[in-house]
Amino acid sequence: MLQALGSATKTDEASFRVLNPNGGHAIAVGINAPLDVEIAGHVGYYCGGMNKSASILIDGNAGQGVGENMMSGLIHVRGDASQCAGATAHGGLLLIEGNASARCGISMKGADIVVKGSIGHLSGFMAQTGRLVSFGDAGEALGDSIYEARIYVRGKVESLGADCIEKELTDEHRAELFSLLTQAGEAHNVDVSDFRRYGSARKLYNFHIDNAGAY
């Protein structure tokens, strides 16, 4: 099964079901084809890493680095995700039904991450572009050293990281957020007005001696 997933070509269109994953690592990694993959159970590290074009459903919890460096497609986690979910992800949508642990969206580069629960500390750390949405709370140092990614949080934020500030939620951002909620199947259940937006204060782009302690 796993060999078949890895050898699928860009023109292949097929459906696969992975049974009894037993927390195995690196399942459905490096897919470069429009496949539908259902994983019936919990997975370990880096599930769906480097995903391109595939639609991956994880019917359980996911270990560290789910969707790491994904390029496109969809990864849907029906449970919780461990730390570094969507790390360095360039594109696609990572949808997590439960909570995500620390460093969710670290150094993300264009992907969309929607978490229906809460996110842990240092989420959005050094996030360059893309959108990170939390229906619940956010831990300490949210968006630390963030670049131009956008973070939306509905619940409580424990603290903001270096150079991350709360920003105005304009009509443009409401429309953007509504689109993400639609993709997550929650557009009619969650009000975009309940969210607050966070992003870069743009004070760390260039070195300044007064900010030396924050670099």
Residue ranges of domains in the chain, CATH in brackets: 2-209 (2.160.20.60)
pLDDT digits (tens, 9 = 90+) for 51-61: 999 999 999 99
pLDDT digits (tens, 9 = 90+) for 17-51: 999 999 999 999 999 999 999 999 999 999 999 99
Q: State how far the Cα of 26 lies from the Cα of 50, in Å rounded to an integer.
A: 10
Q: State how far the Cα of 49 lies from the Cα of 209, in Å rounded to an integer.
A: 39
User: pLDDT value at position 8?
Assistant: 60
User: What is the mean pLDDT of the segment spanning 113-119?
Assistant: 98
Whether pLDDT at 214 is above 70: no
Buried b (16+ CB within 10 A) or exposed e, 157-168: beebbbbbebee
Q: Supply the pTM of this predicted model.
A: 0.92
127 touches 143 (CB < 8 A): yes
Q: State how far the Cα of 30 lies from the Cα of 98, in Å rounded to an integer.
A: 24
User: pLDDT value at position 18?
Assistant: 96
92 touches 119 (CB < 8 A): no
